[in-house]
Structure 1
Amino acid sequence: MKKFNKKSDEQKKQELEELAKRFEEGIKAYIHSDRFKELLTNLSKFHTYSIRNSFLIAFQNPKATYVTTYPKWKSLNRQVKKGEKGIQIFVPIKRTVEMETEENVLDADGQIVCDAEGNPLKRKEVKNYIKYKIGYVYDISQTSQIEGKEEKELEPCKELTGSIKNFDEFMGNIAKISPVPVSFEDIQSGAKGYYSDMEKKIVIQSGMSDTQTIKTSIHELAHSLLHEGKTGTELSRSTKELQAESVAFIVCQHYGIDTSDYTFGYVGSWMEDEEQILQNLEIIKMCSSNIIDKLDTLMA
Structure 2
Amino acid sequence: MNGNYKRKTNEDRKKELDALTRQLQQGINYYIGSQRYTAVLDSMSRFYNYSINNSIIIAIQNPYATHVASYTTWKNMNRSVKKGEKGIQIFCPFQYHVEQEVNKIDPKTNEVMIDKDGNNIKEKKLVQQTGYKIGYVFDVSQTEQIKGKKEYPLEFVDDLKLKVESYDETLELVKRFSPVPIEFQSFPGNAKGYFSDKKMKIVIQDDLSESQTIKTIIHEIAHAYLHGKNVQEDSSGITFNVDECVEFPSLGAHYENLSLDRAIDIYKNIPADKIKGISFVLHDNSIYSDMEYPIVIGDEIKISNLNDVDYFKDNFVVQRTVTELQKHFIDDGFELRSTRELQAESVAYMVCNHLGIDTSDYSFGYVATWMKDENQLMDNLDVIKSCSNEIIDGLGVTQNNIIKEEIGIYSPHELAVEINRFSQDADPYEYRDVVECTSSNIQQIESDINLGKTSSIKEYLNGFISDNRNPEYVERSKQLLKGLKVFEKNESFDLLHIRERGMKR
TM-score above 0.5: no
TM normalised by structure 1 equals 0.44
TM-score (norm 2): 0.27
Q: Which has the larger radius of gyration?
A: 2
Higher relative contact order (CA 8 A, sep 6+): 1
